[in-house]
Amino acid sequence: MEGLSEYEHELFKEFSRKLKPLSRSDYLNKIILFKSTLSDKNLLNININESKQFIEYINSIYAKSTCEKIYSYLHSFYNFLVKENYIQNNPFANISKPYVSRIKNKNDVLSLDELNKLISIFPNLNKRDRAIISFLISTGCLLNELINLKWKDLTSNTQNNCSCKIGNQKKERIVELPSYSWDLIMDYKESIQITSIDDFVFKSRNSNTITDRNVRLIVKNALSMAGLSNYSAKDFRHSFATFSLKSGLKDENVKEKLGWSDKNYATRYKYVMNFVDSDDIDYIIDDDELNIYKSKNNK
């Protein structure tokens, strides 16, 4: 295995045997990253100084949330090695974990004007990409929920009420779709070949699926075109939560919409609500002006 010795790779296989494929790959990449800073030193023969230097290194090049994730992965891996008696001490045990505040601020949420600015560049995007971004904004869904969306999950009744089923197991839920978002998805549908209702809605050029990396790049490109490069895909979910709470929805209702495990997650957004438009928010899209969010006072 590139980056790891044969013995180290066997240890990783033992450690990761219960992990799902995507998680296994993510863990492996982070462990290889750590190994790349050790001058080919064995992973079982490192000290706290080397661990500390690595955390300082990633803190200098990655976002805090990424650093927290890398730390957690390595801490977990070395806990396993201690538990299985491969080493005596976890070299990350006495190193402070990178801290990420869960409280959202105005840098995590797009304003109404910014959202409409993003929508205004839709004519410059292909049908798939504008449908993807509209869906993310309109539902606040996670990227993996968008990726796993299938045609059978989309429904529309005789009153033109549109909805979709997203999530799985405890997080499975039905969410309403604004008519404009629905129309964009149907417009995209007409441009592709569908063989079954079990087909994934969004796919790449060479595959019947799309990856989260593909989606992040699509969003990054659109945000750049709109002059909003300071945001990312995750901020659509934060924006949805903030405007839902600002519109008067109760914490429990927002929990159901977003698939949160705890309604108290809403407290993360209490501060940022002070920075968004003070008018009541109406989740209606103006077909003529391409406004996905409107103030009720501006109807």
Rg (CA), the chain: 22
Q: pLDDT class for 284, splitting at 50, 70, 90?
A: very low
Check: CB of residue 215 under 8 Å from CB of residue 147. Answer: yes
| Stretch among 5-14, 107-116, 162-171, 274-283 having the lowest mean pLDDT | 274-283
pLDDT value, residue 108: 86
How far is residue 264 from each of residues 236, 237, 254, measured CA to CA in Å?
20, 16, 10
Tokens of 241: 């939560």
Tokens of 197: 């209702």
Distance CA(9)–CA(229), nearest Å, equals 38
pLDDT value, residue 112: 85
Is a pLDDT exceeding 50 seen at residue 206? yes
Domain boundaries, the chain: 6-83, 106-298
Is a pLDDT exceeding 90 seen at residue 276? no
240, 246, 247, 248: CA torsion to nearest 10:
120
Mean pLDDT, the chain, integer:
86
The HSE-up count of residue 64 (CA atoms within 13 Å, CB side) is 7
Distance CA(38)–CA(28), nearest Å, equals 16
Give the global pTM: 0.64
Is a pLDDT exceeding 70 seen at residue 86? yes
Query: How much is the average pLDDT of 274-298?
Result: 44
pLDDT value, residue 295: 41
Is a pLDDT exceeding 60 seen at residue 243? yes
Q: What is the CATH number of domain 106-298?
A: 1.10.443.10
Among 127, 126, 153, residue whose Cα is nearest residue 139: 153
Tokens of 155: 């429904």
| Stretch among 70-74, 228-232, 261-265 having the lowest mean pLDDT | 261-265
Q: Residues of the chain with pLDDT > 70: what percent? A: 89
Question: What pLDDT digit, counting tens, does each position of 91-104 carry?
Answer: 999 898 886 666 67
Higher pLDDT, 136 or 62: 136
Question: What pLDDT digit, counting tens, does each position of 121-155 carry?
Answer: 999 999 999 999 999 999 999 999 999 999 999 99
Is a pLDDT exceeding 80 seen at residue 85? yes
Tokens of 236: 């659509």
Query: How much is the average pLDDT of 49-63?
Result: 90
Question: What pLDDT digit, counting tens, does each position of 213-242 carry?
Answer: 899 999 999 999 999 999 999 899 999 999
Is a pLDDT exceeding 80 seen at residue 158? no
Distance CA(217)–CA(224), nearest Å, equals 10
Q: Following DSSP, what letter does each residue of the chain receive, concatenated? A: -TTS-HHHHHHHHHHTTTS-HHHHHHHHHHHHHHHHTTTT--TTS--HHHHHHHHHHHHHHS-HHHHHHHHHHHHHHHHHHHHTTS-SS-TTTTSPPPP---S--GGGS--HHHHHHHHHTGGGS-HHHHHHHHHHHHH---HHHHHT-BGGGEEE-TT--EEEEES-GGG-EEEEE-HHHHHHHHHHHTTS----TTSBSS--TTSSS--HHHHHHHHHHHHHHTT-TT--THHHHHHHHHHHHHTT--HHHHHHHHT-S-GGGGGGGTTGGGGS-SSPEE---BTTTTBSSEEGGG-
Q: Residues of the chain with pLDDT > 90: what percent? A: 60
Check: CB of residue 77 under 8 Å from CB of residue 27. Answer: yes
- The strand pairing partners of 102, in sequence order, are none
Question: What pLDDT digit, counting tens, does each position of 15-43 carry?
Answer: 999 898 888 999 999 999 999 999 878 99
